[in-house]
Structure formats: structure tokens, C-alpha cells
Structure 1
Amino acid sequence: MSTFKFNFLDNTDNEETEDKCEEIKWFECEEIIPDKQINDLDNIVVHAKMFVCEDIEIGHLSSCDKLFSSGDYELNALELADKEHSDLIAGKYEGGLKVWECTSDIIKYLLENTDINFKGAKVLDLGCGVGILGIYALQNDSIVTFQDYNKEIIECVTIPSVLLNIENEQREEVIKKCKFYSGDWASFDKKLPDTAVYDIILTSETIYNEKNYEKLTNIFLNRLSKDGSAYVAAKTCYFGVGGGMRQFETHIQKTGLINSEVAWKSTGGIQREILKIKRI
């Protein structure tokens, strides 16, 4: 699989792109049941890579075109992303194959802040990609919901990555603590039962598109438990695609129902932050 990058645009292209974004038909939410993937694990494990952060090691897949090309899975979005050499094709592919830099930031933050209690907590890994954050929560005795935009990512990358990190004899029991969903955030929010709330919501590099801020904020409004916290890890500014932390903070403040604080900020290099979001 090729190395991907965001498509950076000049001002002329921005206007045309904004017009096209109005026409996007976002994918409807689907719940994905982890069944077929278990039978493929022997073939998958030899292709796994290792995410390493401090003392944390999590096995995962980062490419699946050769592993899952049997016809049981559709790989349309991933083939398009490979062809376009891009991490982002709005409404088609939303970067789920890549382990983004801010994922390490949030893992380090969680390791340093031991007062964040995962044991028995209901956790949502929103825009999960390969599922590093959710797998970390699962390893710390949480009940985890994994959500990503592309169905192919959930089927061919997220679920296999989760399974790779569970001992064989525990696989059937532990996987019951997980749920998997694909699709647009607004559709996902509607799909969940009214009673589905989360103690911890983790999301990394998901605020690059300002047009999705209302959907993301609604997830926090509707799905955070009374005393729950959401942690949003992202670059301070996403040049070329419009989003950033200050814009997102402004959107949160407008709700009047949740607030945010900068819980962590990088020093040097490309500026990155973690926002902590709670109910007022």
C-alpha cells in the first residue's frame, strides 16, 4: 500500500472543493459482527506490525488489500485511496489505514494520568482506524465500541487488529465486550440505542473537517455519561483542509452544554494538543 498524504489545496481549489462537499452522500452506519475474521487470523498474524509507545505494544494491521481480496470483502474505498495516494477523500475514504501521530500523544497522556479509570468503563474509540486507542482500553478491562467511517476498515483492519491482541483461549469471551460500527457520525448516533452512553470517548485526528464539527459535538452531547470525559487529540491547525483546535473549541462553546480545556500541548515541531471535554 502506498504512503498517503492529505491533499493540500490552493485558494482557487478551496472554493470548488467546498461546493463539492455540499454534494457528499455520507455512508450510513452499519454494525459489523466479528465472525469471518477469526478464521483468517493464522494468515493475518504474519502481516502484523507493532505500535510501540512507552511500555505499550499493540499489534495491528496497516494494509489489507492482499489479505482480504477473496471477494468476501469489498475494498472500493481502499483501492480508491491507493490510486489517489491520499489519506483523505471526503465521503469516500477517511484515513483509517494510518496510525496518526496524535494517537501516541493520547496513549502517553493516558499512561501519565492514572486517575483515568478504565476498569469496567464503557469506552468509545471514535474514528478508530486500526483501533489502537480502543485496544488499549480493552486491555485495561473496558467495554469498548469501535467506530470508523469505512466499513472496509472495520472489517479488514480494526477487527483483525483487536483479535490479534487477545489470547487464543480468551478470544471468544473478550470479543463479546466489543462492538463495531462503520459509517457517518450522524447516522452512527441515530443507530445507537438511547441508553448507549460512554464514560470515556477517545478520538485522534478527527477534527480536520469543520463541516463535521456539529456531528462530532452531537456525539459528545448525546453519548457522554453524566460524569464522562472525552479526549480529542489533534494538530493545532490542519493546513490545507481548514480544521483546527481553536475552531473546534469555538464550536463546543456555542453548545452551552459542554466545555473543553487544553489538557496537554506539545513542545516543538508541529503543534499538537489534547482537549478534555466534559458536561457543564
Structure 2
Amino acid sequence: MAFKFNFTVDELDLDEADNQPQSLETSLNDLSLTEADLNKVPCQSYDVSNSPLPRVIQADILNIPNVDVPIFKRTLADVKFQMAEQDTLLDSTEQQQITGEDGQNVLDMLDLTGNSDLVRGVYEGGFKTWECSIDLVQWLSSLPDEAIQGKRILEIGCGSALPSLYLLARHEENIVDVQDYNDQVIRLITLPNILLNTVLSPQEPTAALANGDQIDVSSDDDDNIGNDPTEEKNGNDDDDDDDDDEEEKDQVMEDPVTCDAEAELPSDKLPKMLQQVQQRTEAFVGDWEGLPTQLTKKYDMLITSETIYAEHSLPDLIRVFQKALVKPNGIG
């Protein structure tokens, strides 16, 4: 099995980096860390059946060219609203465990999504929807049914998990497991997205200010991918960035519904919903180094996109492929 990154340095878009020299310098400093300096998150299985969820999930619909399966993706504004809402519920010990330091970590990660994208060994970019994941969905949709039907699949570095969502929605027989470095990403983005695209039936949002605009990923405007929807809809026409930031915070608190669809999660039905998810999806969190020891089954297909940015990570990723793929016909 051989693969390569099919692009050149000249093809990379450096415009945004040129406009943010400080962010670029920070990112380069992150990349300069040695392996010994990293305090890696140990890999472990994530308990899908007991994952906490909000009462309502708000989502945007990704309009991917040549893909006939609609994909619902939770908005980052909804994640921020959940963190703010939970932060007010301090009477419950359980809520304190969910919020507190962890809640601040989530907000810090969301802030990074619009700046340096990641911090090695701390946050690996899972809240951002990376452009190549959309390319991967398009490629998967071009395959014949027999190539992706009734398969056991693992997505590595899943984040929003768009390819997994497509494979789960395309064929009910598929078993699709997911892995991300951060458990916050699995809890707040990956699992809600899986619910939206498999178990739940998203409806039009109920709030009067909700607009039905879909995200058109065929556009050349990459800012639509991986950013807070409130930034997309409220910040483009205003030159005052500071005012926009304050306005976004107010909107997250006062009017979180800036989405295409929403789905309710009745508390009495949550256990059954999560059980349905668990029947088709197992989740893992943490570093790739320990992932092979956590895997108890072989996969017909391993998928990943925009996951390698540091050379030291490549051997761990290769070991996952060697351990996890069915031999001799597994595809990666």
C-alpha cells in the first residue's frame, strides 16, 4: 500500500497566513516542538452510551456538489451556546464536571479555530471542518455501491466526520468507527453530527430569525468552511472587527439560532438514541500511538484527510494502518 500527498508548495494558499503574521509565527513555534516536549493525550475508547448531549442540536446543511446525500453539521455557534447555558447550571455536580475548566478549554479551542487552527499535543483542529474532508466525501460518492456498502470503516482524525456521516447515511449496513485527539470534539461535534445524520430527523428551525441559507461548499470562499456560522452571516459586511466580535457574543447568548435545521433530543429517548449510535459506531480519543492497542477488530477501509502536518506523526499513523486494515484487501 502506497500513498502520497498530491500537491506542491506552490499550490498552498498563503494569503490568510500573510495577513496574520503573528498567528503564522505561533503555528510555526508549535511545529518546532520536539516529540519529548509533547504531553500526549493517551488513547482510549470513548463511552458513547453515556455521552452528555444538549436538549436541541442546531445544524447547517452542507451542499456538496455531486453528492446526493444531505449532510447535517452542528454549528459552532450552537456549541458555544451549550457551553454558556451549562455554565449557568452550577447547582448540579454533574454540570460542574461538564463545564468549569473543560468548558473554558472548549471555548479556547473554538477561538483557535479562527486563528492558528491547532496547538500540538493540546488541540488538533477537530472543531474546524477541513476542506479535504469535503473532497473525500466527493471521492467516496463517486465509488460504486459495492465498494462502500456493508463495510467496516475507521475514520482517523475525524473532527466533524463528514466522510463518516456520508458513509453512515449512504448505507445502513455500514459500521463506521471514529477517532479524534480531543474528547471534547467527539462529545460536542462528532457524536451530535452522527445523531443528526442517522437517528434524528432534523426540521426547519423554529426561531423567527433563523434563515434557511445552506453552506455552499462549491464556492471559492474558504472562509465558509470551518468557521462559526455567526461570523459568516454577520461579520462579512462590517469593517469593524471588534464590534463584530462583541455582536457575535451577544448573539450566541441571546439568539443562538443561526442555522438551517434543528433537532430535539427528548431526555427520555436519549439512552435509546445513543444505543442506536453505538450499534454502528465506536469512538476513540487520544494520540495515534496508543490507538492500535485499543482496536479489537479489523477494518475494510481506513479514511483520513488533512491529518498529517508533522513528520514525527507519520510512523504512528502507518502503524494504525498496518494494525487495523483487513489483509490483503483492506483499503486506506
Same fold? TM cut 0.5 = yes
Q: 1:201 to 1:116 in 2, by over 3 A?
A: farther
Question: Is 2:43–2:291's contact at 8 Å kept on the other side of the alignment?
Answer: yes
- 102, 107, 111: which one aligns with 2:141: 111
1:39 shift after superposition? 5.4
Aligned-partner Cα distance in 2 for 1:82–1:39: 18
1:156 shift after superposition? 1.0
Do structure 1's residue 135 and structure 2's residue 131 form an aligned pair? no
Aligned-partner Cα distance in 2 for 1:182–1:147: 6
- When structure 1 is superposed on structure 2, of 199-208 and 183-192 the one drifting more is 183-192
- 281, 292, 295: which one aligns with 1:189: 292
Question: Is 2:199–2:276's contact at 8 Å kept on the other side of the alignment?
Answer: no
1:14 shift after superposition? 5.2
1:181 shift after superposition? 1.0
Aligned-partner Cα distance in 2 for 1:151–1:43: 20
The structure carrying a bigger strand percent of its residues is 1
- When structure 1 is superposed on structure 2, of 20-29 and 119-128 the one drifting more is 20-29
- 196, 202, 211: which one aligns with 1:164: 196
Could you tell me which residue of structure 1 aligns to residue 259 of structure 2? none
Could you tell me which residue of structure 1 aligns to residue 330 of structure 2? 228
Letter in 1 for 2:32: E
Could you tell me which residue of structure 1 aligns to residue 61 of structure 2? 50
Question: Is 1:48–1:59's contact at 8 Å kept on the other side of the alignment?
Answer: yes
1:18 shift after superposition? 2.3
Aligned-partner Cα distance in 1 for 2:279–2:323: 24
1:147-188 deviation per Cα after TM superposition (whole angstroms, max 9, x unaligned) = 001010001111111011124499443541110111001112
Could you tell me which residue of structure 1 aligns to residue 124 of structure 2? 94
Equivalent position SS for 2:282: strand
Letter in 2 for 1:154: I
1:248-275 deviation per Cα after TM superposition (whole angstroms, max 9, x unaligned) = xxxxxxxxxxxxxxxxxxxxxxxxxxxx
Which TM-score applies when normalising by structure 2? 0.59
Do structure 1's residue 209 and structure 2's residue 241 form an aligned pair? no
Aligned-partner Cα distance in 2 for 1:67–1:191: 30
Q: 1:87 to 1:36 in 2, by over 3 A?
A: same
Higher RCO (Cα < 8 Å, 6 or more apart): 2
Could you tell me which residue of structure 2 aligns to residue 80 of structure 1? 108
Aligned-partner Cα distance in 2 for 1:165–1:229: 24
1:189 shift after superposition? 1.7
1:101 shift after superposition? 0.8
Structure with higher Rg: it is 2
Equivalent position SS for 1:123: strand
Aligned-partner Cα distance in 2 for 1:37–1:106: 27
Aligned-partner Cα distance in 2 for 1:38–1:77: 17
Q: How many aligned residue pairs are there?
A: 220
Question: Is 2:134–2:162's contact at 8 Å kept on the other side of the alignment?
Answer: no
Could you tell me which residue of structure 2 aligns to residue 60 of structure 1? 73
> Runs (4+) of structure 1 moved beyond 6 Å?
none
Question: Is 2:52–2:187's contact at 8 Å kept on the other side of the alignment?
Answer: no
Aligned-partner Cα distance in 2 for 1:219–1:121: 18
Q: 1:153 to 1:14 in 2, by over 3 A?
A: closer
Q: State, as a whole percentage, how many aligned pairs show the same letter.
A: 26
Aligned-partner Cα distance in 2 for 1:65–1:123: 30
Question: Is 1:29–1:182's contact at 8 Å kept on the other side of the alignment?
Answer: yes
Aligned-partner Cα distance in 2 for 1:16–1:119: 40
Question: Is 2:72–2:196's contact at 8 Å kept on the other side of the alignment?
Answer: yes
Aligned-partner Cα distance in 2 for 1:25–1:224: 28
- When structure 1 is superposed on structure 2, of 132-141 and 107-116 the one drifting more is 107-116
Equivalent position SS for 1:51: strand
- For structure 2, the 5+ residue unaligned runs are 1-15, 87-95, 201-268
Equivalent position SS for 1:66: helix
1:208 shift after superposition? 1.4
Q: 1:118 to 1:19 in 2, by over 3 A?
A: closer
Aligned-partner Cα distance in 2 for 1:43–1:214: 40
Report the aligned-residue RMSD: 2.8
- For structure 1, the 5+ residue unaligned runs are 231-280
Question: Is 2:46–2:284's contact at 8 Å kept on the other side of the alignment?
Answer: yes
Letter in 2 for 1:146: V
Q: 1:228 to 1:78 in 2, by over 3 A?
A: same
Do structure 1's residue 147 and structure 2's residue 202 form an aligned pair? no
1:65 shift after superposition? 2.8
Which TM-score applies when normalising by structure 1? 0.69
